[in-house]
Amino acid sequence: MRREQRPVYMIGVAAQLCGVHPQTLRQYERMGLVIPSRAGAKNRLYSEADIDRVRRIQRLTQGMGVNLAGVEIILKLLDEMEEMRAEYEQQVGDYVQETERFLREVMSRSNVPARVGEPILPVPRLRTKKPVDF
């Protein structure tokens, strides 16, 4: 589990870090905007990613005047975009690896010299832009 995904903050601490009332966090959870981990049946634990998400919600609602229904749509779209970006990067990486494997196989059957330990296919590391942070 990545560090920012590790649930560590109780609801009171999370609310204080975000500058909101704990009841606000409960409302966001009821709406599905933030989904904290649970320790037992009652205790909510928030991660750094959850805290960042609540801060994003606050910026959208307070700074940009978006209502919570709009925030729900925006966050859903941003989550989907992030999933598509990650999937795209994975597919391109898989394609490059498969092409490298194929080229090495073809070159191993010929007398064409090849550098050992270096990629044959000169593909730069592809990084797509992350969505704008609100």
Domain boundary assignment for the chain: 3-65, 79-134
Strand order in the sheet with 37-39: 9-10, 43-46, 37-39
Token pair recorded at residue 51: 């805290």
What is the reported pLDDT for 40? Answer: 83
Cβ pair 98, 123 in contact under 8 A:
no
What lies within 8 Å, CB to CB, of 62 at 6+ separation is: none
H helix runs in 6-67, sequence order: 11-18, 22-31, 48-58
pLDDT tens-digit series, residues 67-120: 999 999 999 999 999 999 999 989 988 998 899 888 888 878 777 776 677 777
pLDDT tens-digit series, residues 17-51: 999 999 999 999 999 999 999 988 888 999 999 99
Fold (topology level) of 3-65: Multidrug-efflux Transporter Regulator; Chain: A; Domain 2 (1.10.1660)
What is the reported pLDDT for 120? Answer: 74
What is the reported pLDDT for 56? Answer: 95
What is the reported pLDDT for 9? Answer: 94
pLDDT tens-digit series, residues 3-13: 778 889 999 99
What is the reported pLDDT for 45? Answer: 96
| Antiparallel, parallel or unpaired: β 43-46 and 37-39 | antiparallel
Distances (CA, A) of 83 to 52, 70, 100, 127: 18, 20, 26, 14
pTM over 0.85, yes/no: no
Cβ pair 67, 61 in contact under 8 A:
yes
